[in-house]
Structure 1
């Protein structure tokens, strides 16, 4: 892939999941401006594993997700954008951050859905919704609607699971759909046990 504009964030983006962002830093405003000139505007999102993105010196994750820009609304001194996660990638090399972060990427093969995974998917969705209903400050609502397409819904279940960034990053790096769903179940059970103990 040619050099891809990048947006390191303090959170994980999953395929098939919306990403609302408020963009106000000049370099990212420049990046969005360039993307708006493209037919299929996409940028890469990676988790900042350590440090702060502003001012540099951050450590960025090696696996991320492409985000397709779907809407942009201009405010007085910022842009409100919505993008949606598409394909996962690995970062081969970071390029200069001028005028904004960029990287060379290799796309990861998409995970494959098999109908034999349906019981696992149902179990994962059930526990995630149950735990979400118990968490007061969860980012997602327990009644969040999921896609009717099974593969997209599986990623969305991972996205709404009430987990920390590092657990979510573990999910993002899954190599099989069964592995993804099993990890969602195990990590959400662990999170639930911690809340119950607290």
Structure 2
């Protein structure tokens, strides 16, 4: 178990996926400042399941993703940072939020890739890209590039699929690459059906 700085957010972070951040709250400015002193600056990201993070009183998810800080630039009142998701973890215990949220976490095993999953990944990618092209509003383009490494690409597909945060959190909890891809397909097709019914 390791105690790490935590950044609860209203969205899910997946491994191998970029996370742009605008940091303005004093406690997170302190956190980023301390991270910049480290050789390998990492923090945990968890989904806020209910409530608002500002001022506390929120309910935070128990599975999250480590984020490695890759760049920080300072503006007048805001730090703009970019991090990249690395490995998943389980929160064992939340610690005192002073001076910023922290938790004891245990790493989750990385998913194993099997080349027999390649056709399933191609199917998932085709469905996600088709749905993105038809989706009313999305954060990602239908032609967003994915990594060459297949497991990284599978997680990136989960990230770009036009889904709500509850569905994205379901994907984050996948225990095998096969389950991840099958759930990406099922949840994306469900989302597509909902749009076409509206």
Bin the TM-score by the shorter chain. over 0.9
Give the match's secondary structure for 1:55. coil
2:169 paired with 1:141: no
Give 1:30 shift. Answer: 0.2
Distance 1:55 1:135 in 2: 34
Equivalent in the alignment of 1:90 = 90
Equivalent in the alignment of 1:37 = 37
TM-score normalised over the length of structure 1: 0.99
Give the match's secondary structure for 2:2. coil
Residue pairs, 1:118-137, within 5 angstroms: 118-137=118-137
Equivalent in the alignment of 1:28 = 28
Equivalent in the alignment of 2:66 = 66
Distance 1:171 1:2 in 2: 24
Q: Contact 2:2–2:106 at 8 Å: present in 1 too?
A: no
2:80 paired with 1:115: no
Distance 1:152 1:118 in 2: 13
Equivalent in the alignment of 1:152 = 152
Equivalent in the alignment of 2:54 = 54
Equivalent in the alignment of 1:99 = 99
Distance 1:57 1:131 in 2: 36
Q: Contact 2:70–2:82 at 8 Å: present in 1 too?
A: yes
Distance 2:139 2:62 in 1: 24
Structure 2: gaps spanning 5 or more residues: none
Equivalent in the alignment of 1:182 = 182
Distance 2:134 2:197 in 1: 13
Give the match's secondary structure for 1:81. strand
Give 1:2 shift. Answer: 2.8
Structure 1: gaps spanning 5 or more residues: none
Q: Contact 2:18–2:85 at 8 Å: present in 1 too?
A: yes
Distance 1:151 1:2 in 2: 25
Distance 1:50 1:172 in 2: 18
Kindly tell me the number of residue pairs found equivalent between the two proteins. 198
